Amino acid sequence: MHQAAILGVILVSTLCSKATQIPFFAVDSPRTAVCNSHCARSASKNDSWDLNVKPNVNATGHLVFETVSSFLQHWPNTRYRNGHNIIPGTVPVGTLLYHGRGDSNLPTVPEWTATDPEHSYMFCRGSSETGCWHLTLVTSRPLRVLYFDGSSAAKMKDGPMDTQDIVGWGEVLPDRYFEERKRVVDLCDWGKPLGIDGYVRMEMDFEIVVCDFTAGVEIVSMANLASQGRGGPGGPGRPRPSDVPAFNDSLLTNGPFETAAFFDVIHSGSRHNRYPGDRRIKLDLTQLISFYDIALVPSLVARRLNLERWDHRLLGITPADVAAVRARLTQAYTTSPPQPGSGVDWDTLFKVLVDRYDDRFEMVRYVLNNSTSHDALVTAKNAMSLFRVMLQPYILHTATPGSGSGTDNAWATPVFKFCATSHTEYIRNSPTLFSKLTPSEELLLNAVEETNREICRVVVHTWADGVAAGLDDALPVDKPIHPDGDALMGRWKADIERLMAWLDWSVWTKCRPECSFEEMCYLPTWPFMGKRGYGDGPPGRRPERPDSSSADDDEYLRPQPRCVRRLEPYTKL
Ligand SMILES: *[C@@H]1O[C@H](CO)[C@@H](O)[C@H](O)[C@H]1NC(C)=O
Ligand SMILES: *[C@@H]1O[C@H](CO)[C@@H](O)[C@H](O)[C@H]1NC(C)=O
Ligand SMILES: *[C@@H]1O[C@H](CO)[C@@H](O)[C@H](O)[C@H]1NC(C)=O
Ligand SMILES: *[C@@H]1O[C@H](CO)[C@@H](O)[C@H](O)[C@H]1NC(C)=O
Ligand SMILES: *[C@@H]1O[C@H](CO)[C@@H](O)[C@H](O)[C@H]1NC(C)=O
């Protein structure tokens, strides 16, 4: 330990000497000292380093952080269906897209394509005599697309369509949730002057609405496939608009082929469950627009107050905020030359932070949850060693109990500050780099800062508590406060659970115990909702929803994972 401490000092002093050239960071001077006028752009930040100050209830940095960390991944966007982000992107040249249909014609109007053929095959319609039609396209140039996060192709009236309503129609129109044809035509019309070729959305798997099947795509094949004796959704000989099958319970008991086809899509979608998700779409995070951006969309702050994240929507957004969002979006596609941005790899920076903390917090929660009054102090020491590993790169040699003034844990403030700022201090405080950030990148920077800051605050607070109680062997104190083990554990457990609930990372949503090899972990996915397997079909054809107090409705609105069989998938999803 002694050697490690010496090494720590050397490293810190090396970095500090650089600070004379570049205002990188100074561990013992307040941030404002190196923060010049460019910092005024983020004047709302509260730079108090008091370990007891919790995040503002209206702050959304953690929500931006988690949604951005979840882009193009099936799992988190199935869990939280109501998207809050729209992001310009491209689909590189040479990418295959698939489209199933009941005839061999090329669509002349906007239609749906799938990134995986399991998905489009659902719409390959025809009898066992005629076979069905499956079109494979390839992008002949980079396609310009706009991605709607969340379950943005789940035709539900509870929120997944909100962001598309705003872009296509300029207001949220919940009654029109199933007007797919009108929706995609209007989106394509709106995006045409901006050169937008298509819209990326997600349901059981990812899809791209292609506005013009003769622009930027070429035909690889129009294959007459064996139809397995099934007619596709809707039944043989009953063509219906693609992507709008009449989902209902009977669909799931139609027989093995029908159900297996649906199951194949659930399966192919699940391959994009986790980071990095469906990589065929390349997003431009420098042009990201988030409805969690308080500066851009202030009207939603009051609407979200006291709501759980499941229930966040865009209802109540003011026309002024809609106009601001649409202006930003238009600008993203029309600014010429395009804003290059700073070059910071935000996607990786977010991932670095998630990787650094995700399983560590699971472990801490597990250890703290396991304590009994008999072994509370043993548990506390186990937890302390985990906290120390998390904080190791930030525990400064000079930070020892008694070294600070003010509250009991003020001595740990330099550790908190160092931990909270080390990933982003350079980006924020380098005038050259900071001046290159687009407004979207400032939002991303803020999201990393707010998220990392709260992680560091809670962990340092807890660790400092343990140090004072003499529980860190590497940092003994003269007169440890002999703790009430149970009270200490109760406090730590509550703090860590509160932090994990605030972060709400979908990487923590898992099947426990893990599913067997014959099973897969599954979240209720539109159109299979709840154990009863009902879906939000077109109005009028929709089976009655259970009343709001039933367990099924809870599962519908707040999806929880469970294991389903991968083999013989003829049981209801
Ligand atoms: C900033 O933190 C201090 C506590 O140090 C608190 O009193 C104050 O209300 C906070 N300001 C804002 C704008 O949140
Ligand atoms: C379910 O769909 C089938 C086929 O489209 C139809 O015959 C049946 O009446 C529908 N059932 C309900 C409850 O809507
Ligand atoms: C949160 O937002 C609501 C609604 O705008 C506002 O009334 C409240 O004062 C805010 N709370 C804090 C702590 O800033
Ligand atoms: C904590 O332990 C209880 C009882 O053993 C268990 O039911 C619960 O699921 C555990 N919680 C976590 C987060 O592991
Ligand atoms: C958790 O508790 C169980 C039984 O209560 C015990 O077997 C196990 O060793 C404990 N694990 C930890 C990490 O303390």
For 291-304, write each residue's pLDDT tens digit. 999 999 999 999 99
Let me know: does 365 contact 387? Beta carbons within 8 Å.
Answer: no
Identify the residue whose C-alpha is closest to ligand 4 atom 8: 369
- Ligand 1 centroid to residue 59 C-alpha, Å: 13
- Residue 355 confidence (pLDDT) above 60: yes
Structure tokens at 29: 């001077």
Identify the residue whose C-alpha is closest to ligand 3 atom 6: 302
pLDDT at 506: 97
Region 296-316 average pLDDT: 97
- How buried is 513 (Cβ within 10 angstroms: 0-12 exposed, 13-18 middle, 19+ buried)? exposed
Identify the residue whose C-alpha is closest to ligand 2 atom 4: 234
- Ligand 2 centroid to residue 248 C-alpha, Å: 6
Who has greater pLDDT, 468 or 542?
Answer: 468
User: Which helix (H) or strand (E) element contains residue 368?
Assistant: helix 346-369
pLDDT at 486: 85
Q: At which residue do the structure tokens 């709607």 appear? A: 148
Ligand 4 pocket, residue 571 CB under 6 Å: no
Q: Which residues contact 357 (CB under 8 A, 6 or more apart)?
A: 390, 455
Angle at 101 between CA 95 and CA 106, to 5 degrees: 65
- Residue in 370, 374, 379, 493 to alter for ligand 5 test, most ligand atoms within 8 A of Cβ: 370
HEC readout, 452-501: HHHHHHHHHHHHHHHHHCCCCCCCCCCCCCCCCHHHHHHHHHHHHHHHHH
Let me know: does 508 contact 500? Beta carbons within 8 Å.
Answer: yes
By percentage, how much of the chain surpasses pLDDT 90? 66
Helix (H/G/I), strand (E/B), else coil: 562: strand
When mean pLDDT is compared across 77-86, 275-284, 554-563, the lowest value belongs to: 554-563
Average pLDDT over the chain reads 84
Beta-bridge partner residues of 135: 99, 222
CA 516 to mean position of chain CA atoms: 27
- Residue 173 confidence (pLDDT) above 70: yes
- Residue 343 confidence (pLDDT) above 80: yes
- Ligand 1 centroid to residue 54 C-alpha, Å: 9
Ligand 1 pocket, residue 52 CB under 6 Å: no
CB atoms within 10 A of CB 54: 12
- Residue 537 confidence (pLDDT) above 70: no
User: Which helix (H) or strand (E) element contains residue 98?
Assistant: strand 96-101
pLDDT at 244: 39
Helix (H/G/I), strand (E/B), else coil: 530: coil
Helix (H/G/I), strand (E/B), else coil: 199: strand
Angle at 292 between CA 288 and CA 298, to 5 degrees: 115
Region 298-324 average pLDDT: 97
Who has greater pLDDT, 44 or 426?
Answer: 426
Who has greater pLDDT, 34 or 123?
Answer: 123
pLDDT tier for residue 551 given thresholds of 50, 70 and 90: low
End-to-end CA distance of the chain: 54
Angle at 145 between CA 143 and CA 151, to 5 degrees: 135
From the list 410, 385, 414, 409, the residue with the least C-alpha distance to 398 is 414
- Ligand 1 centroid to residue 450 C-alpha, Å: 14
Backbone φ, ψ for residue 106 (5° rounding): -80, 130
- Residue 169 confidence (pLDDT) above 90: yes
Region 500-527 average pLDDT: 93
Distance CA 98, CA 206 (A): 11
Ligand 4 pocket, residue 365 CB under 6 Å: yes
Ligand 2 pocket, residue 541 CB under 6 Å: yes
Let me know: does 474 contact 391? Beta carbons within 8 Å.
Answer: no
- Ligand 3 centroid to residue 300 C-alpha, Å: 11
Structure tokens at 261: 């086809």
- Ligand 3 centroid to residue 302 C-alpha, Å: 7
Distance CA 314, CA 302 (A): 11
pLDDT at 471: 92
Ligand 2 atom with the smallest distance to the CA of 541 is 14
pLDDT tier for residue 354 given thresholds of 50, 70 and 90: very high
Distance CA 546, CA 550 (A): 6
pLDDT tier for residue 378 given thresholds of 50, 70 and 90: confident
Ligand 1 pocket, residue 56 CB under 6 Å: yes
CA 225 to mean position of chain CA atoms: 37
- Which amino acid is located at 78 in the chain? T
pLDDT at 235: 37
pLDDT at 505: 98
Ligand 1 atom with the smallest distance to the CA of 44 is 13
Ligand 5 pocket, residue 370 CB under 6 Å: yes
pLDDT at 371: 67
Who has greater pLDDT, 39 or 309?
Answer: 309
pLDDT at 572: 53
- Residue 11 confidence (pLDDT) above 60: no
pLDDT at 492: 95
Give the pLDDT confidence of 24-77 residue by residue, as tens digits: 344 443 344 344 444 444 434 556 899 999 999 999 999 999 999 999 999 999
Structure tokens at 198: 């298509």
- Residue 265 confidence (pLDDT) above 60: yes
pLDDT at 240: 39
- For the whole model, what pTM was predicted? 0.85
From the list 207, 212, 183, 187, the residue with the least C-alpha distance to 122 is 207
| Max Cα-Cα span within the chain | 87
pLDDT at 353: 98
Identify the residue whose C-alpha is closest to ligand 2 atom 6: 250
Let me know: does 208 contact 97? Beta carbons within 8 Å.
Answer: yes
Let me know: does 161 contact 152? Beta carbons within 8 Å.
Answer: yes
